[in-house]
Amino acid sequence: MLTTELNIADPDGFYEALIGLHRDLTAEQSRLVNAKLVLLLANHVGDRTVLDEAMALARRGLVPSGEDRAMHAVA
Amino acid sequence: MRSAVSAPDYRNLTFAYARSPDQDAPRPARHPVVVVGGGPVGLTAAIDLARQGIPVLLLDEDDRLSTGSRAICFAKRTLEIFDRLGCGQRMVDKGVTWNLGKVFFRDEPVYSFNLQPDAGHQRPAFINLQQYVVEGYLLERAAEFANLEIRWKNRVTGVCQDDDGVTLEIATPEGDYRLRCDWLIAADGARSAIRGHIGQKSSGQTFRDRFLIADVRMTADLPTERWFWFDPPFHRGQSVLLHRQPDDIWRIDFQLGWDADPEIERDPERVIARVQALLGPDAAFELDWVSVYTFSCLRMDRFRHGRVLFAGDSAHGVSPFGARGANGGIQDADNLAWKLALVLRGLAPETLLDSYDGERIAAADENILNSTRSTDFITPKNEASLAFRDATLELARDCGFARRLVNSGRLSTPSTYRGSPLSSADTGPFSGAMEPGAPAADAPVRTAGRDAWLLRETGSGFTGLYFSPDAPPAETLRALRAAAGGALPLAILVLTPAGAQVPALDGMTVLEDAAGLAADRYDARPGTFYLLRPDQHVCARWRQFHGEAVQAALARATGQG
């Protein structure tokens, strides 16, 4: 089960490190760093149930306002 | 004897239209099976039916083979099917055998995979062979069957079915005529006219990306491997795939992006510049074939519509990453032919054909799932998926887990027909991959003093594999012979350990498990019995042979269970 209560010893220090991770990066560079971070942590967690819960929680409440580059096709 | 000099140029062959007496018949002539489409799928279905004694008529609207090299990668399972048809060896002799794939990111190798890590299979993971050569060889095999007729320049313009059969309207250079058939196999490709004639469609998603195929002729000292680049220095921001074909032809596949103009991209000067960027300014090569394409992942809701059966691209479409189009379609034909032959011979009810629908729809979904996942990696749909793609590739250098996420195509492997109504459930414990529904594994064997392969000894009908430590006792032999002599022909193979010295057995084939791999792969113990379908998929297995259980499993496997 996904832990949503505090589980980090020094929360303010962690948050500072997370922000520091992105210092002076462009939006594109940040996106790459975040993607790597997600992949590394996801592999560390491993448990697919936990990962699915986290993904659902991360997207909760968002109304999609973008569009993926794919089209419905009929032949 | 065939020689390289006299080999026909399959690309430029044309086949003459010939008037058929059917065109002058007062009433539409009736055929048991009409196959529409002379591509790899239609030809496979036609040959497989003909070799089972069914008269087949194949109609093709054109008079040529595939215009370009198109589907160049033919998988192990396809080669095993071609072996059943009697033309596998020729394909392998001519094709370029490969097992290794390498993935590069920018200019560094990040991942490599071996598609056939274990020995003891007759056929390699893949051969590369131009589609027109595959079609040419299939066509020459088809010509060896007196009960297989091909009519070129015969275009189906109308299809109408009733309870009793299908009526086809056909246009030829000499006017129109009509035919009746019991069953129609529509292997007429992605833009299937038959599909339209019966008011059906194939739906799914189209990816907003374009790709350029450049087949170039050159003598290059490169290894026979599949090379895939993400964002290489010679084609920034896109991917490139390199494959070797026979006759010094190399396939280079350039991702172009959605905004590329297909007309401009086909310009030879422009293509040559792209190839030169990859090979270097001094490389000597000439363009052999160029094509710009987009692709979709599509499928029909059902593949069986009464007496009309869809196979190959007419039934489903996949992206090219993973070589699952032609290979999947040939497996459709493999699945359909034996069932249709049994129905036509009155040995199975028509409902057996519903299992074609069920099994091959599940297989198509598996192919679509895998090729869609590959496409999502290769052609990111938004900025986040591009970031994850690049993150995966960058991490792959140092992190093992990320290498496994790199997806440049998950290459075609046959489906296990899990949950098929034709399979009988295990009654004893088994481990390993040979569960009911699985494609039977190969293994080296010896028979009558010569080296052979297990799969080559199967596939002409239902086959029983009986694993025996030595000569089976008389009582077992009687029971095996009784099983073989039922209403449905059943070939019995007795598999013994290497060196068991079992004498020849009347009405059965004795195979020595030369390397012990058959027993390993089938998790066999003394007395284990496997029942294989004519398409070489497992349909039942037992720890001990019971004649009644085998008859029940045979009934089930033929839609009578």
B206 interaction partners in chain A (CB closer than 8 Å): 70-73
pLDDT in tens, B33-71: 999 999 999 999 999 999 999 999 999 999 999 989 999
DSSP character for B21?
A: G
Q: Which residue of A has its CA nearest to B202?
A: A75
The CA distance from A46 to the nearest CA of chain B, in Å, is: 11
**HSE on the CB side for B119, CA within 13 Å?**
4
The CA distance from A53 to the nearest CA of chain B, in Å, is: 19
Which of B207, B382, B391 minimises the CB distance to A36?
B391
**Distance (Å, whole) CA A39 – CA B405:** 10
A74 interaction partners in chain B (CB closer than 8 Å): 201-203, 298
First CA to last CA across chain B, in angstroms?
Answer: 48
The CA distance from B471 to the nearest CA of chain A, in Å, is: 51
Neighbouring CB atoms inside 10 A of B89's CB total 14
- In this complex, do B205 and A43 lie within 8 Å of one another by their Cβ atoms? no
**HSE on the CB side for B504, CA within 13 Å?**
5
The answer to whether domain B444-557 has CATH 3.10.20.310 is: no
**Distance (Å, whole) CA B521 – CA B425:** 19
Q: What is the mean pLDDT of each run of 10 residues along chain A (75 residues)?
A: 96 98 97 98 98 98 85 74
Residues near B550 by Cβ (< 8 Å), separated by ≥ 6?
B464, B483, B490, B529, B531, B540, B542
pLDDT in tens, B195-234: 999 999 999 998 889 999 999 999 988 899 999 999 999 9
Asked whether B190 and B45 are in contact (CB, 8 A), the reply is no
Q: Which residue of A has its CA nearest to B297?
A: A73
Say if residue A20 is exposed, middle or buried (CB neighbours under 10 Å; 0-12, 13-18, 19+).
Answer: exposed
User: Distance of alpha carbon B561 from its chain centroid, rounded?
Assistant: 28
* Domain at B21-96+127-203+301-369: CATH code: 3.50.50.60
Q: Among residues 12-51 of chain A, which lie with CB inside 8 Å of chain B?
A: 28, 31-32, 34-36, 38-40, 43
Q: Shortest CA distance to B494 belongs to which of B444, B442, B547, B530?
A: B530
CATH of B211-294, one of 3.40.630.10, 3.30.420.280, 3.30.70.2450, 3.40.228.10: 3.30.70.2450
The CA distance from B330 to the nearest CA of chain A, in Å, is: 21
Q: How many residue contacts between A and B have a Cβ separation below 8 Å?
A: 74
- In this complex, do A71 and B208 lie within 8 Å of one another by their Cβ atoms? yes
Structural domain boundaries in chain B: 21-96+127-203+301-369, 211-294, 444-557
Within B198-282, strands assigned E span: 202-207, 211-217, 226-230, 239-245, 249-255
**Distance (Å, whole) CA B185 – CA B148:** 14
- Token couple for B429: 């414990």
First CA to last CA across chain A, in angstroms?
Answer: 44
Q: Does A55 touch chain B (CB under 8 A)?
A: no
Say if residue B5 is exposed, middle or buried (CB neighbours under 10 Å; 0-12, 13-18, 19+).
Answer: exposed
Neighbouring CB atoms inside 10 A of B485's CB total 10
The most distant pair of C-alpha atoms in chain A lies apart, rounded to whole Å, by: 57
**Distance (Å, whole) CA B321 – CA B423:** 31
pLDDT in tens, B311-366: 999 999 999 999 999 999 999 999 999 999 999 999 999 999 999 999 999 999 99
Within B231-381, strands assigned E span: 239-245, 249-255, 286-293, 296-300, 304-305, 308-310, 316-317
Q: Which residue of A has its CA nearest to B400?
A: A43
Say if residue B184 is exposed, middle or buried (CB neighbours under 10 Å; 0-12, 13-18, 19+).
Answer: buried
- In this complex, do A72 and B384 lie within 8 Å of one another by their Cβ atoms? no
Give the β-pairing of B286-293 and B148-151.
unpaired
The most distant pair of C-alpha atoms in chain B lies apart, rounded to whole Å, by: 75
* Per-residue pLDDT tens listing for chain B (561 residues): 444 556 789 999 999 999 999 999 999 999 999 999 999 999 999 999 999 999 999 999 999 999 899 999 999 999 999 999 999 999 999 999 999 999 999 989 998 999 888 999 999 999 999 999 999 999 999 999 999 999 999 999 999 999 999 999 999 999 999 999 999 999 999 999 999 999 999 999 988 899 999 999 999 888 999 999 999 999 999 999 999 999 999 999 999 999 999 999 999 999 999 999 999 988 999 999 999 999 899 999 999 999 999 999 999 999 999 999 999 999 999 999 999 999 999 999 999 999 999 999 999 999 999 999 999 999 888 999 999 999 999 999 999 999 999 999 999 999 999 999 999 999 999 999 999 999 999 999 999 889 999 999 998 899 999 999 999 999 999 999 999 998 898 999 999 999 998 989 999 999 999 999 999 999 999 999 999 999 999 999 999 999 999 999 999 999 998
B393 interaction partners in chain A (CB closer than 8 Å): none
